[in-house]
Structure 1
């Protein structure tokens, strides 16, 4: 008797591109819930960085900080909505955190931003402490990891996620236009395509839109496939979109072209052990 083939593994993701306002907690949560209500059924709905608190380029009041098990968050997270929020810490600065849950198993994934931006106008190092660990875990049929905004500007972070098996990289962002909007957008396009193609993964980029703290955020949320194709895309206004990720095809690609297996992680370990500093000698080739 011939065994029947396994059902294709897929993950259906939704983009919830919102325009949160700094400190307007209840209104931000209500907008997320409304946008999700009108979305077609998905396995996981993703919101931008600090989608609950807003991004005001300033420290968040203590009254606006959340514990990861706050009922206001869990009421949405338990429905499969991922949220970005300012997470309280009793002894130190808060974390810039992102929380999602697998509604089927109840498994929670909490990621804290590893690389707060340390230069103006962001100055996140004055408002947030850095996270200490990159988490990779299972979500439905996929293995996922989260890289929050500036974490993606440090290529070792998505590389580590892929080396730990991540097939879907969730990238919640609060990217403002700044003085050169075209350059910012192009830089993100390069980062996302490079990550998707060379790390052979799906990249779900969720940027916010609207204005906050005097800055204009450009949206442009999208889902990218491992061939660099754009599977879903939003403009510069609040909105939602859906993409279905074919994990069976991704795993076939990884088996046929084993880029991750070729990685020599020991080189990284050796470089860190030796110390990373200014080169003392010119390298001749």
Structure 2
């Protein structure tokens, strides 16, 4: 892959949920390369420790469960002790849930998928959007990028909770983007097709094969490709897009 475009994130501070692995870690790396400081929010302490060793003192590791309101509040306190401003929020934390039909779906697993994928996105936006809205003496500045999924637009069989939760993330993004449209805060989401990350460990091989069969390019997306798009959406150059959905699906997206 060619060298990605560079964006200037000097003096910017970002929160990246799920920031210690997969797409989140790639986003952390892109932001740091552009001059940002980053608070990686993640519930995997081992991954946080490993990621922290790569990025040094420009990055803060924050152990957090994004689905828990008190945990998010504690993470906010820690983050604002590291940086007085939060300019960028990338919501990358998520789980797939089991690959079973809806009629066989365990209710507790359904709730867990929604708790992390949707409630987690709501809680982080709920906590951080007011800071962005009030930035620059009330004029507002910020970039929020929520990671949804092409499954949220099309619905994958045997992935009803994941598909429904990501559809809800799209709706949340559109709503919040409109609410903040007259401020300097831009809110967008990306809808990747399957990208080979640690989340594949949560899926059956049958489901992985199904997802590949739906991609006209006949390959999975690469983590860096998703991070490149998110870097632009996190930058000052993304100025006239808000409440928008950006497909990155190898041709799978049809609307």
TM-score range, shorter chain: 0.3 to 0.5
Using structure 2 for the length normalisation, give the TM-score: 0.40
Say which structure is richer in helix: 2
Structure label with greater radius of gyration: 1
